[in-house]
């Protein structure tokens, strides 16, 4: 722990440099408060920041967000941009197994008082309508042709099938879908795993929360996002389920079998040049999996809206605030050392955070900036931020609180029934089909999300708009 801390050079209160040594092509950059440093230094995530800096074509820095922790190849909370024209690579480990895992927030005109007396019924209705758990069946049954359309069109296809409205699409990153040049890059096995899962939450750290807007820090931006103090919101955190996991597994295996002459400090960083045939195929498969993830959250949104209407009446409408992924690689334009470059930007456990005026934002959000959705741990607050557009961080910010305990370590604490009861005493109703596994996601397993948000603000990555307090949690 001390070794990592001593290697860091403090640039400001919230910015630290890990100097380039050995075969690192660029320095490391850590955004964190001094209070977060011991937690970050206690695992191998800074080693992974150093390892990512070996990758061909990397520009700027190998970046770690305040919620960084150890992951597969890349750290979770890692950002790296590669220049394809300089041999830059794409690495499945820089995206993660849950491709397009992301967060969606819905807002309502309902107040906590209006919902609290019906909360138990509402949570039971949500549990009935939204499948959860490992291998769970989905809401939207698809045949092979239907799955093909979802892989190409993402949330747009879900809306076309009646799961939402056209207004939703303007509030989704990339307007709901990425371009997929070659859908055939998604294997038969990946398709088979995904075909029955569209519209399901999954397990692990995935959740659906009924929340209250507890505090508004930036009123004009909150209004632009559709948020008001004391009102109810719903946060959905899930991804591309078995399909995305299989896509990652397929291409890790392929890239390990043919290493393209790339020297790696860790085989989990298996990569291929972005412009190579294998790199292009992975990009297509990843984009298709991302489209599946966006469609998955869109279908779940439809079920949530149905549950609210069934429990609270026709006036219980939910508008989409935003949907953003935090496991993705995208081709983007950024300025590096005075040059405008088209780069492959990996964000693994990191969120795009576009500033006001950015042309990629829908017109209705352009003046305010992009909403950034930061879930806390079960039982703690979540945050809505707005992007500030840090050029150094390639318009990125944090994605959550970040683990400080493995799931195995967390399970050594209190039991599931005890945790559920303790949260109920705090006014948080938790519904789960896997009570025994609930402690895996206990609040003490995560960093302090308020401190993570403070570090992002201090570093100029994003700034806080509203704080959200959970009152109901649905988990797998």
Report pLDDT digits (tens) over 222-248: 999 999 999 999 999 999 999 999 999
- Average pLDDT, stretch 293-313? 98
- Average pLDDT, stretch 302-309? 98
- Average pLDDT, stretch 421-438? 93
Q: Is 399 a catalytic residue?
A: yes
Number of domain units in the chain: 1
> Is 209 or 440 the better-scoring residue by pLDDT?
209
Q: Which of 134, 188, 399, 457 is catalytic?
A: 399
So what's the pLDDT on residue 134?
Answer: 85
- Average pLDDT, stretch 42-49? 94
Out of 132-141, 150-159, 195-204, least confident range: 132-141
In this structure, what CATH number is given to the domain that contains residue 432?
A: 3.90.1860.10
Q: Would the pLDDT of 218 be above 90?
A: yes
Q: How far apart are CA 177 and CA 295, in angstroms?
A: 9
- Average pLDDT, stretch 334-347? 97
- Average pLDDT, stretch 118-124? 98
Q: Would the pLDDT of 1 be above 60?
A: no
- Average pLDDT, stretch 202-210? 94
- Mean pLDDT, the chain, whole residue set: 95
Domain carrying residue 47: 2-475
- Average pLDDT, stretch 5-17? 89
- Strand-pairing partners, residue 372, are 385
The three-point CA angle 425-427-429 to 5° equals 95
Q: How confident is the model at residue 259 (pLDDT cuts 50, 70, 90)?
A: low
Report pLDDT digits (tens) over 174-200: 999 999 999 999 999 999 999 999 999
Strand 396-397 versus strand 89-90 pairing type: unpaired
pTM for this structure?
0.96
> Is 434 or 186 the better-scoring residue by pLDDT?
186
Q: How far apart are CA 177 and CA 156, in angstroms?
A: 7
Q: Would the pLDDT of 4 be above 70?
A: no
Q: Give Cα separations from 120 to 127, 181, 473 (angstroms).
A: 11, 46, 11
Q: Judge residue 47's burial from the number of C-beta atoms within 10 Å of its C-beta, 0-12 exposed, 13-18 middle, 19 or more buried.
A: middle
């Amino acid at each position: 722990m001390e070794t990592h801390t001593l290697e860091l050079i403090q640039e400001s209160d919230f910015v630290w440099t890990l100097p380039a040594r050995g075969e690192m092509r660029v320095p490391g950059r850590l955004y964190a408060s001094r209070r977060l440093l011991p937690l970050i230094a206690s695992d191998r995530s800074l080693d992974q920041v150093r390892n990512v800096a070996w990758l061909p074509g990397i520009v700027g820095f190998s970046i770690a967000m305040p919620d960084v922790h150890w992951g597969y190849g890349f750290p979770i909370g890692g950002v790296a941009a590669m220049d394809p024209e300089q041999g830059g690579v794409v690495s499945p480990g820089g995206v993660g197994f849950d491709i397009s895992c992301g967060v969606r927030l819905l807002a309502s005109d309902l107040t906590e008082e209006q919902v609290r007396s019906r909360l138990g019924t509402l949570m039971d209705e949500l549990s009935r309508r939204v499948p959860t758990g490992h291998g769970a069946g989905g809401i939207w049954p698809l045949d092979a042709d239907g799955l093909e359309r979802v892989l190409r069109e993402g949330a747009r296809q879900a809306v076309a099938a009646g799961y939402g409205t056209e207004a939703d699409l303007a509030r989704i990153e990339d307007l709901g879908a990425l371009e997929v040049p070659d859908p055939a890059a998604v294997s038969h096995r990946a398709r088979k795993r995904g075909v029955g899962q569209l519209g399901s939450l999954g397990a692990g750290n995935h959740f659906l929360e009924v929340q209250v807007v507890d505090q508004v820090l930036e009123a004009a931006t909150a209004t632009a996002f559709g948020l008001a103090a004391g009102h109810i919101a719903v946060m959905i955190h899930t991804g591309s389920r078995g399909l995305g996991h299989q896509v990652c597994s397929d291409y890790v295996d392929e890239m390990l079998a043919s290493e393209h002459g790339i020297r790696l400090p860790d085989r989990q960083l298996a990569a291929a040049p972005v412009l190579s045939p294998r790199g292009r195929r992975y990009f297509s498969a990843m984009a298709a999996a991302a489209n599946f993830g966006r469609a998955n959250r869109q279908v779940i949104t439809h079920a949530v809206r149905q549950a609210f209407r069934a429990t609270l009446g026709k006036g219980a409408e939910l508008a989409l605030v935003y949907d953003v992924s935090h496991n993705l690689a995208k081709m983007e334009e950024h300025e590096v050392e005075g040059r405008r470059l088209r780069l492959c930007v990996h964000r693994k456990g990191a969120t795009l955070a576009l500033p006001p005026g950015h042309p990629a934002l829908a017109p209705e959000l352009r003046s305010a900036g992009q909403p950034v959705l930061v879930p806390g741990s079960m039982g703690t607050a979540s945050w809505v931020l707005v992007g500030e557009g840090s050029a150094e961080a390639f318009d990125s910010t944090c994605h959550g609180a970040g683990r400080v305990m493995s799931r195995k370590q967390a399970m050594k604490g209190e039991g599931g029934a005890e945790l559920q009861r303790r949260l109920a005493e705090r006014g948080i109703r938790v519904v789960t089909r896997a009570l025994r596994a609930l402690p895996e996601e206990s609040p003490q397993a995560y960093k302090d999300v308020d401190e993570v948000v403070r570090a992002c603000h201090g570093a100029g990555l994003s700034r806080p708009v509203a704080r959200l307090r959970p009152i109901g949690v649905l988990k797998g």
